Amino acid sequence: MRDRGSFESMNFHGAESDDPLISLFTELVRIPSSSGHEREVMDFLTTRLRGLGLAVEESDPIEDHPEAAGNLYCRLPATKSGTPVMLSAHVDTVASEEGALPHPVVEEGVIRSGSRAVLGADDKAAVAAIVRVVEEIVHGSIDHGGIELLLTVGEESGLRGAKASSLEGFSARCGFCFDSTGPVGGLVVRSPSQKTIRATFIGRSAHAGVAPEQGRSAIKAAARAVAEMPLGRIDAETTANIGIIKGGEAVNVVAGRCQIAGEARSHDDARLEEQVTAMLDAISFAATVTEVDVEVSTIDEFHGFDIGGGNPAYDLAWRALEDAGIKPHAASTGGGSDVNVFILKGMSCVNLASGMENVHTSDEYILVESLRQLRRVILAIVARAAS
Ligand SMILES: [Zn+2]
């Protein structure tokens, strides 16, 4: 349990804080921006950055409807020699139940959603800190070696914005994302690869009471397949899950169709292949013994990484954390983020913890102090890259 008594006493609702970072954060989280519906928040950010006299570009839309947006690119040309850096965060959030929206509440130094909605500190804590740092740099004429912003859409729906992004025009070869849970200071050094598996069993519908022998149950096939699969914690490096099963029309009909979908992750690509093969084998075995057809697809969701000392972004982030007076520590994750994609696209990129906790739930929260640390870390990254 955290000792709340040690946090500063600070209670308010909405954007009434006199700290511009906290105000910006609470303002951002009140703008709805579930994946694929980022238009309003992108317009807000574009206006804010253009208000600083910066050139802002939006491209790579991943959906085509009025509420959708593309990734936001913004460049601050270098004012002194140094290493240009990419700062990146995703603006989309997971959808909340029944479209509930946060009414952020700050109590005893902790920011919560104040409703059934997820707060959206994932990843708007990073968006707010990055934008605030850019404002401070522009207003304070702080020298830097070149800053390139990439604010992505569709991270939560499969890293789609990052996958659609183009890093070719960037001068930065070092990138920093702030999209990991846990106290500020964490640097993600390992992430697994992930594949998604979908299967549709196609049997034959029949009346369950009149002529069941004419039917071929797709539900029975799906159940058999799932029962045959190794799932859960496979080994220290590997996990697997079937998370969706859908099928059937009525209790008196032998189900003609049933779909299953699941995933496998591993820090070891060979183990991932073995696991996916075992799941596909279970699917075809089940289809054969239940005499149904099956259509299968597998998708490479993201590729894992394993970085550490000697990696330029990692080393710079480690030293910047120390500069900011925060103890760095290496962390591993079971999840993927835009960083997985940026590394694959050739960027030396590291994912830093932002202080967000209980993400993707209505209990999500972040400490005011974590947001302030995040700002200091980003300023320290910029300063170190320019030195
Ligand atoms: Zn995130």
Please say whether the beta carbons of 76 and 147 come within 8 A: yes
Helix and strand tally (H, E) in the chain? 9, 20
288 C-alpha to ligand 1 centroid (Å): 40
> How many angstroms is it from 18 CA to the middle of ligand 1?
27
DSSP string of 315-349, one letter each residue: HHHHHHHHHTT---EEEE-SS--HHHHHHHTT-EE
35 in the same domain as 126: yes
Question: 314: closest CA among 269, 381, 366?
Answer: 381
* Mean pLDDT, the chain, integer: 93
> Could you tell me how far CA 40 lies from the centroid of its own chain?
19
Q: How far apart are CA 368 and CA 355, in angstroms?
A: 9
Q: Is the pLDDT of residue 371 over 80?
A: yes
Residue 165 in this model has a pLDDT that exceeds 50 = yes
- Mean pLDDT is lowest, of 44-58, 132-146, 301-315, 337-351, for 301-315
- Residue 126 and residue 29 share a domain: yes
Q: Measured between alpha carbons, how far is 259 from 244 in angstroms, rounded to an integer?
A: 8
Let me know whether 365 and 295 are in one domain: no
Instruction: Return the sign of the alpha-carbon dihedral for residues 371, 373, 377, 380.
Output: positive
Place of tokens 């270098």: 78
* pLDDT value of residue 332: 84
Q: Cα(354)–Cα(141) distance, rounded to whole angstroms? A: 26
How far, in Å, is the centroid of ligand 1 from the Cα of 223? Answer: 33
Are 110 and 130 within one domain? Answer: yes
Closest CA to 317 of 85, 146, 73: 85
Ligand 1 centroid to Cα of residue 156, in Å, is 7
Residue 144 has pLDDT above 70, yes or no: yes
70 and 82, same domain (yes or no): yes
Q: How confident is the model at residue 12 (pLDDT cuts 50, 70, 90)?
A: low
Q: Are residues 327 and 268 in the same domain?
A: no
The answer on 353 and 274 residing in a single domain is no
Sign of CA dihedral 32, 34, 39, 42: positive
Q: Do residues 162 and 41 both lie within one domain? A: yes
Identify the domain containing residue 239 by its residue range.
194-301
Q: How far is it, in rounded angstroms, from Cα 237 to Cα 233?
A: 9
Give residue-wise pLDDT tens across range 223-242.
999 999 999 999 999 999 99
Judge if 167 and 239 occupy the same domain: no
Which one of the listed residues 58, 123, 155, 263 is annotated catalytic? 155
Give pLDDT, residue 352: 97
Amino acid at residue number 207: H
Residues 67 and 153 in one domain: yes
Catalytic residue selected from 38, 58, 60, 92: 92
pLDDT confidence tier of residue 11, bands split at 50, 70 and 90: low
In contact, 304 and 273? CB cutoff 8 Å: no
Lowest mean pLDDT among 25-39, 150-164, 253-267, 328-342: 328-342
Smallest Cα–Cα separation from 85: which of 356, 342, 325, 372? 342
pTM tops 0.85: yes
Boundary-marking domain end, from 271, 301, 331: 301
DSSP 38-76: -HHHHHHHHHHHHTTT-EEEEE--SS-STT---EEEEEE
What digits encode the pLDDT tens for the residues 96-140?
877 788 999 999 999 999 999 999 999 999 999 999 999 999 999
Domain end position, chosen among 301, 330, 348: 301
- The pLDDT value recorded for residue 98 is 76
Cβ-based neighbours of 257, under 8 Å, separated by 6 or more = 200, 201, 202, 203, 218, 247
Half-sphere exposure of 52 (CA within 13 A, CB side): 21
**Active site (annotated) includes residue 293:** no
- Distance from residue 244's CA to the centre of ligand 1 (Å): 22
Provide the sign of the torsion angle of the four alpha carbons 94, 48, 9, 109, taken in this order: positive
What pLDDT does 3 receive? Answer: 37
* pLDDT confidence bin for 308, thresholds 50/70/90: confident
pLDDT at 100: 84
* Exposure letters 356-369 (e unless 16+ CB within 10 A, then b): bbbbeebebbbbbb
92 labelled catalytic: yes
**With 60 as the cut, is the pLDDT of residue 16 above it?**
no
Q: What is the pLDDT at residue 97?
A: 78
Q: How many domains does the chain have?
A: 2
Beta bridge partners of 87: 149, 176
What separation in Å is there between the alpha carbon of 33 and the centre of ligand 1?
A: 13
